[in-house]
């Protein structure tokens, strides 16, 4: 059976989350050695150079933005920069698992925004899957624990900015290259990082730290590209629950990199998160097959 746009969107979203959590892990490792905006600026240099090279290779380094998309792209850049600054601030001052978990309010927030601003139809099953996944997040984090501090509000504000980013991305014309949007994003984040870095005392940067920043840049490039593609295909209400997969990646990386073994609550919460995503994916496959006349073997009944 052919893959629907919603399924592609879900796959892109899952890849996005894996790339973002890998980037967050590297940036968290650097937080003891570099200042926040210094790291943000230096990573931006690597990211901009790499994406610029890809744009040059693809012939989209210079692109004339249609007038109807200029305001939308500007709003998207505001959302991306704001989300980056507030989330990295939270990440540098609280455990990565807690910062990531707060960010999981995004699926519900983006789905509601899509229903309000984009007139997307959201059924009760999708709302149920999103809420179930969010309950799984609460089981993992257990609000009120020592991992939460005053910087938690920075992560909450980051959620609002990222909603603006994703809704703006959805409203972009199909003809605007995703790679070019990623380049603009990287330039904007790098420029703001450079400006804000003037407010901090720069620390010496070793070769090892530069290497880690280059690795972070590679991960964030994948995050930029696939996040744009995820928001431009299928229904936001379908792909949004797959943001929860970031916690699965966070648990795996936590075990491998930081030696953090998940407790029973974390395991139970993760199972709920995965279950909500699997159910949403199964429901989409069922509806798609029914609408387009495929049987259980994936063969179209229309061509029999």
**In sequence order, what DSSP letters do the residues of 211-249 get, joined into one string?**
HHHHHHHHHHHHHHHHHHHHHTSS-HHHHGGGGGHHHHH
Specify the residue for token string 């953090």: 260
- What pLDDT, on the 0 to 100 scale, is given for residue 174? 83
Closest CA to 236 of 2, 3, 10, 4: 10
pTM of the full structure:
0.76
Whether the CA torsion 187, 156, 87, 110 is positive or negative: it is negative
Residue 102 within a domain: yes
Residue 99 within a domain: yes
- What pLDDT, on the 0 to 100 scale, is given for residue 289? 60
Each residue's pLDDT, cut to its tens digit, for the chain (304 residues) gives 456 788 888 889 889 988 988 998 899 889 888 998 999 999 999 999 999 999 999 999 989 999 999 999 999 999 999 999 999 998 888 777 777 777 777 777 777 777 777 776 767 777 787 788 778 777 766 665 555 667 888 888 998 899 999 889 888 988 899 899 999 999 999 999 999 999 988 999 999 999 999 999 999 999 888 988 888 887 777 787 787 788 778 778 878 887 777 777 777 877 787 777 677 666 666 665 665 554 544 444 444 4
- DSSP code of residue 144: T
Closest CA to 221 of 53, 90, 28, 30: 53
Residue 300 within a domain: no
Residue 27 within a domain: yes
- What pLDDT, on the 0 to 100 scale, is given for residue 230? 87
Residue 297 within a domain: no
Residues with Cβ within 8 Å of 153's Cβ and at least 6 positions away in sequence, in order, are none
Number of domains present in the structure of the chain: 1
Q: Which two tokens stand for residue 139?
A: 């089981």
Residues with Cβ within 8 Å of 26's Cβ and at least 6 positions away in sequence, in order, are 212, 213, 215, 216, 219
User: Which domain, by its residues, includes 252?
Assistant: 5-290
Residue 118 within a domain: yes
- What pLDDT, on the 0 to 100 scale, is given for residue 77? 96
Distance between start and end Cα atoms, the chain = 14
* Cα distances (Å, whole numbers) of residue 198 to 5, 41, 193, 204, 206: 44, 11, 9, 15, 20
Query: What angle in degrees, to the nearest 10, is found between the helix axes of 106-117 and 152-170?
Result: 40
- DSSP code of residue 4: P
């Amino acid at each position: 059976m052919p893959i629907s746009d919603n399924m592609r969107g879900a796959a892109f979203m899952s890849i996005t989350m894996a790339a973002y959590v890998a980037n967050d892990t590297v940036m968290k490792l650097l937080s003891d050695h570099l200042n926040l905006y210094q790291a943000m600026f230096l990573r931006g240099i690597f990211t901009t150079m790499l994406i610029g090279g890809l744009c040059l290779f693809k012939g989209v380094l210079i692109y004339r933005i249609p007038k109807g998309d200029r305001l939308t792209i500007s709003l998207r850049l505001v959302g991306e920069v704001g989300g980056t600054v507030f989330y990295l601030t939270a990440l540098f001052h609280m455990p990565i698992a807690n910062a990531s978990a707060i960010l999981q309010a995004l699926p519900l927030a983006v789905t509601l925004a899509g229903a309000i601003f984009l007139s997307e139809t959201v059924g009760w099953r999708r709302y149920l899957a999103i809420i179930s996944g969010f309950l799984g997040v609460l089981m993992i984090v257990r609000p009120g624990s020592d991992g939460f501090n005053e910087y938690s509000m920075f992560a909450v504000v980051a959620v609002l900015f990222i909603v603006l980013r994703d809704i703006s991305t959805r409203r972009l014309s199909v003809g605007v290259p995703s790679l070019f949007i990623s380049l603009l994003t990287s330039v904007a984040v790098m420029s703001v990082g450079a400006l804000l870095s003037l407010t901090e005392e720069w620390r010496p940067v070793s070769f090892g730290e530069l290497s880690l920043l280059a690795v972070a840049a590679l991960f964030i490039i994948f995050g930029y590209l696939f996040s744009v593609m995820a928001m431009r295909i299928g229904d936001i209400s379908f792909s949004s629950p797959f943001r929860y997969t970031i916690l699965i990646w966070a648990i795996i990386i936590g075990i491998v990199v930081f030696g953090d073994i998940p407790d029973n609550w974390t395991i139970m919460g993760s199972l709920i998160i995965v279950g909500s995503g699997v159910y949403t994916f199964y429901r989409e496959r069922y509806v798609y097959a029914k609408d387009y006349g495929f049987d259980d073997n994936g063969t179209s009944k229309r061509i029999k």
